[in-house]
Chains A and B, each alone.
Chain A
Amino acid sequence: MDKPRRKEAQRSASFTVKSGLAQMLKGGVIMDVVSPEHAVIAEEAGACAVMALERVPSDIRAQGGVARMSDPGLIREIMSCVSIPVMAKCRIGHFVEAQILESIGVDYVDESEVLTPADEDHHIYKHGFGVPFVCGCRNLGEALRRIGEGAAMIRTKGEAGTGDVVEAVRHARAVLGEIRLLQAKPDEELMAYAKNIGAPYELVRQTKELGRLPVVNFAAGGLATPADAALMMQLGVDGVFVGSGIFKSSDPAKRAKAIVQATTQYRNPGILAELSANLGAPMPGISAAGLPEGERLAGRGW
């Protein structure tokens, strides 16, 4: 993978470079794919990146058992057949899975609650890696803890594999709403606020100054339609992940393309109406509110 032309004057794997890729993904759709065929359909539809997986979240949910990192052979195969960035998931706290993913050259690692956590107290120390990480969050404190550990991109957790957008909305509103409140606070209140939300003070201060998270913030977990993607964009996220929503629908290629276009034209209801027409059946979906506590993935992570 290493190219000989990297010179001493060149710095690789800096935080600027790691968070910079996420900046290039903004306004785009990152799609879950389980095979090279899916990956090609996603790229064809205009995905800005793909997430290589063995099972989409709705299958992980249905089949139960322990969900782990995908087979590196499959991930490599997917990497070889698309030109866009390829992401892959490792379990929360499983830094060896992350090392493996880094060594095969994936472009982003998702330390994901969709897989069964490997550590119930600690997430991965992500500053120690050259590959950038994306992590899920439900509120500002969780987002800033992950950034403190080195995450170069944040996404809402939502409730993956349900096709129900309500949890992604809840988490996006929590993060963005808390930032709006933070901006109204005088500086002397920031230390106590940082303590209360369990976030690093320096990042709280930086977030107030910027009026947004210091890294790119996507929506994920339950998006299934062009309208869902546009809703999240209008709420103020930078882009969207769509997992089961595309390849569990009746016409994945058409739906994928419609969701990509909806993420760009999210403020134009006329275009959104066109994009939403005649898409075939969406993924079946289950109501996130009806899930028993033990089946909620968003509660994983600390």
Chain B
Amino acid sequence: MALQGAFIEHIHKLRELGIPAVEVRLPQDMPGLDGLIMPGGESTTIGKLMVAYGLMDPIRSFAVQNAVWGTCAGMILMAKEVGREQPVLGLMDIAVERNAFGRQIDSFEASLQVEVLKEGRTKPFPAIFIRAPRLVEARPPAQVIARLADGTAVAARAGRLLVTSFHPELSRDLRFHEYFLEMVQS
């Protein structure tokens, strides 16, 4: 999804893993895709552009059969509840709070233990949070897969849908992208 935000960083990560990637700006860019990443950016901007270019329904039908991953703004767009009026896809039964940690000055980096990742028990994942949302609630089948030290939920999975409130595309660690590729191939 290349309407706005940090999509090129995801594309670089996928290419590093030898996976071809295309930029989706219009519904006609979607046929042939095996998975879709909704990048970080401004969720209000991306949501409005998805409405303007008729992408909401094509993505909803795509997500029935295929893997979709939302990072930060992408997580907001995939959530059912965001606590305010703005266009969202509502793919996943989760409630999120936007800008939950404060403004930019409160943005931070943290090491997360994410057991579902390769070497997840022993090797922490470097997570970058930028004006990040948090998961307020994840209802089954959505399951929380990562938390901050204080227990705040920051990543969840439901079947072939994945959300992270942080930005694996900005760190050097490829494990979240590998994890998503396994979901795409499963």
Contact = CB atoms under 8 A, between A and B. Distances in A.
B42 A48 contact: yes
B43 to A, nearest CB: 9
Contact of A16 (B2, B72, B170): B170
B94 interface: no
Nearest to A239: B4
Interface stretch (A23-31, A113-121, A245-253, A280-288): A23-31
Given A9-B149, A12-B105, A24 B8 contact: no
Interface string A8-39: 01111110111011011111100000000000
Contacts of A5: 101, 148, 150, 152
A48 B41 CA distance: 8
B49 A264 contact: yes
A25 B129 CA distance: 15
Contacts of A45: 48
B4 A26 contact: yes
Interface residues of B, number: 45
Bin the interface of chain A by size: 35 or more
Nearest to A43: B44
A14 B48 CA distance: 31
Contact of B107 (A21, A47, A264): A21
Contact of B40 (A12, A24, A261): A24
Contacts of A107: 103-105, 131
A107 B106 CA distance: 10
B29 to A, nearest CB: 11
Given A28-B41, A28-B42, A83-B44, 17 more contacts: A1-B103, A1-B106, A10-B110, A14-B109, A17-B129, A18-B104, A20-B170, A21-B107, A24-B40, A25-B42, A48-B45, A83-B99, A105-B103, A108-B104, A261-B52, A264-B3, A264-B25
